[in-house]
Amino acid sequence: MFFDEAEKIPLAGVVREEWRKAVVDERGRVERNPYELCVLVALRDALRRREIWAPGANRWQNPEDDLPPDFEDNRDVLPVVVRRSGGPVDALVTRVRRQCR
């Protein structure tokens, strides 16, 4: 089943090069099922990169919702505090280095 030829179906950013032959036939028609699969894969990838988000979702919510309320006021100070904290990341790195010796 193909999309109507009059429809402008975007391929760039949706259909990866290795999928083109499965999505577009030799006459240039776009087959619906493989195209929809490519849309779902592109959606999944964008969610993982947090380029898009799903309101109300736990894992896929707007990343700005995770920021502290005073983030904008302390934007310049926070990276310095995090770097100096010696928090769990530093502890993990130290433990891994010890295990690798």
Q: What are the tens digits of pLDDT across the range 41-73?
A: 999 999 998 899 888 888 888 888 878 888 788
H helical segments located in 49-87: 78-84
* pLDDT: which is higher, 29 or 57: 29
Q: What angle do CA 48, 9, 54 make, to 5 degrees?
A: 25
pLDDT at 10: 94
CA contacts within 13 A on the Cβ side of 17: 0
Tokens linked to 60:
């896929």
